[in-house]
Structures are given as structure tokens and as C-alpha cells.
Amino acid sequence: MERRENRLIACHWTIAGNQHPLRSDGTSPHSLPDRIRAAAGAGFSGIGFLHSDLARLLERYRPAEIARMLGDHGLTDIEVECLGDWFAVGERRRQSDAMRHMLIEFGAAVGARHLKLMGPIGEEWPLEHLAECYAGVAGDARGSGVRPAIELLPFSGIADPATGLKVVGGADGGLYLDIWHVRHGGIDDDQIRAIPIDRIVGIEINDAIPNPARDMMDATIGDRLPPGHGALDTAGFVRTMREIGYTGPIGVEIIADAHRALPLDEAVRIAFASATACAAGSGSDDGEAIEAGGGGGGA
């Protein structure tokens, strides 16, 4: 059982800098040493690695070198993401399998705790097929120390806990709960409490603008606020997770036009201060927290 304390992971997009999730390849303009230094200096206990950015990093660094950098800065809560098309066929599946092996191999080398999976978006697959394919991912990850976790997304084919648990079945791993997707997907605390605690691999916090003007996909990649600065009860979400026995670290994922335009140290400071306040059970009082980027869009 992991220690019960509010450890925070600086997810990739929180520290990636000025890169748009859809209009770029996700490669951060900030060097890895700078990201590690900033996250550790702010107080985070770990960071996240995105598949596309990681591929570039591995052209420069060996996994053992990255593991040493993380260890030197005391970063022990590591996540890797995001595996898509694990359910596909043909060329899509071939590329996904190659990515799967890279993420698991790297994750094992740096001691990552979980691998995030994204369900099908804009297409339907039989539940039995999804379960079979997920079992394949879990089988490949067996013995690596990296637990696969399906992130419930309201715009995907795996949007709710009941469906997610059916896909996971008896395989290792489980579900990943991001408050943005949980609440926008209409998942309430009763549904969360019904999830077996050993199937909650990880959780993530951020916040949302009330009364969104943009559609859900645009809002989720353009307008997420720091925890405690929007319409979501982030502190309440953390309390619920602790009450049901979740003892793992908390990911902090702020994906927003305004956030990615900030200097790295400022972005990290705001993310840590706001998340720490929420994790401690109160709203953030960081007066310098950013507002959502222009256009009045929301999440």
C-alpha cells in the first residue's frame, strides 16, 4: 500500500510549455533537465512523460540517464502516457504496439507507476474486443511495475466506470480518474465509490470554467484552470478519493492556452500552489493564478 500523503505529479502538459495538444507533436520547448529542476524545486514528487515528447528525449538520453536525473531530484512518482489505438487493427495497431513497447520499457527503466490508455474516440468497438485488447496490454506490462490505466473520457467509447471495469475485466490495472472528465461525463461520487479501490490506479485534478462556450474537446485542451479556480469542487473530489481509500499520488494536469504561454517556473509554481491547497482540503488562495485564455471558452 502506498503512503497516505498528498504527493503531486506534474503531468506532461502542466510543464510542457507552449505546445498545443492538437496543433503540435507535443514536444516540449523546455529541456528535460529544466522541467525536472522546476518540478522538483516547486515540490512535486514526480512528473509525466508523453509518448511523442518521450520519443524525442530518447534520441538524446538513455533511459538510465533519465532515471538518474529523476532520482537526483527525488522524483519518484512517474507516469507515462498516452497509449491510443491499443484496440485498433492494421497499421494503426502496428504503430500502437510499437508505442506500447516503448512506453512500457521506458516506464520500467525509470520506475513509472502507471501507463495511461485512451479509449476509442469517434468509433465503436465491441466490448469483448476492447477487453481482449486491454488484456494484451496488461499482459505486456506484467512484471514491469507499470500498471495500465484507462482514462475515462466523456467523448470516448469508455466514458463511465461500469464500462471501464468491464473492459479491464480480470486483467491487471484499472481506471484513471481525471476530475475534468469525471464531472463533465456526469460521473457522481456514488459511481466513484462503487469502483473497487484496487481498480483506481490514479487520479488527476484541474478545474473548469462554468457555463462553457466551447465544445467539450476544445475546452479540455484550451481552458482548464488551476485546481480551485473554477466551477469544479476539486478539494471535495480529493476528499472523496481519500475517504474511499486512495493513497496514491495526485496528477496535476492543466491544459490551457493561458497556462502554456507562461514561463516554466511560473507555470509550475501556480500548478503546485493551487493543487496543494486543494489536496489539503481547501480552495487555493494564490492570487496570481491565471485566468482561462481569451474567447470566454470553457470546459
**Who contacts 24 (Cβ-Cβ below 8 Å, separation ≥6)?**
none
Count up the domains in the chain and report the number. 1
Is 294 inside a domain boundary? Answer: no
Is 286 inside a domain boundary? Answer: no
Compute the distance between CA of residue 51 and CA of residue 49 in angstroms, rounded to an integer: 7
Of the candidates 172, 214, 226, the one whose C-alpha atom is nearest the C-alpha of residue 8 is 226
Is 205 inside a domain boundary? Answer: yes
Q: Which domain holds residue 274?
A: 8-280
Is 287 inside a domain boundary? Answer: no
Secondary structure (3-state) at 226:
coil
Alpha helices for the chain (secondary structure H): 12-15, 32-42, 51-57, 63-72, 90-110, 127-141, 161-168, 179-184, 189-193, 216-222, 234-243, 257-260, 264-279
Instruction: Residue 94: give its domain's CATH number.
Output: 3.20.20.150
What is the pLDDT, as a whole number, of residue 93? 98
Compute the distance between CA of residue 238 and CA of residue 224 in angstroms, rounded to an integer: 17
Is 292 inside a domain boundary? Answer: no
What is the pLDDT, as a whole number, of residue 294? 30
DSSP letter, residue 30: S
Quick check: bond before 133 cis, omega within 30?
Answer: no
Is 2 inside a domain boundary? Answer: no
Is 164 inside a domain boundary? Answer: yes
Secondary structure (3-state) at 201:
strand
Other CB atoms within 10 Å distance of the CB of residue 96: 19
Q: Over its length of 299 residues, how does the chain's per-residue pLDDT go in tens digits?
A: 344 468 999 999 999 999 888 887 879 999 999 999 999 999 999 999 999 999 999 999 999 999 999 999 999 999 999 999 999 999 999 999 999 999 999 999 999 999 999 999 999 999 999 999 999 999 999 999 999 999 999 999 999 999 999 999 999 999 999 999 999 999 999 999 999 999 999 999 999 987 666 777 777 877 889 999 999 999 999 999 999 999 999 999 999 989 999 999 999 999 999 999 999 874 444 434 443 333 222 22
Other CB atoms within 10 Å distance of the CB of residue 191: 14
Is 135 inside a domain boundary? Answer: yes
What is the pLDDT, as a whole number, of residue 128? 98
Whether the model pTM is above 0.75:
yes
Integer CA distances (angstroms), 278 to 8, 122, 167, 232, 286, in order: 11, 34, 31, 11, 11
What is the pLDDT, as a whole number, of residue 290? 40
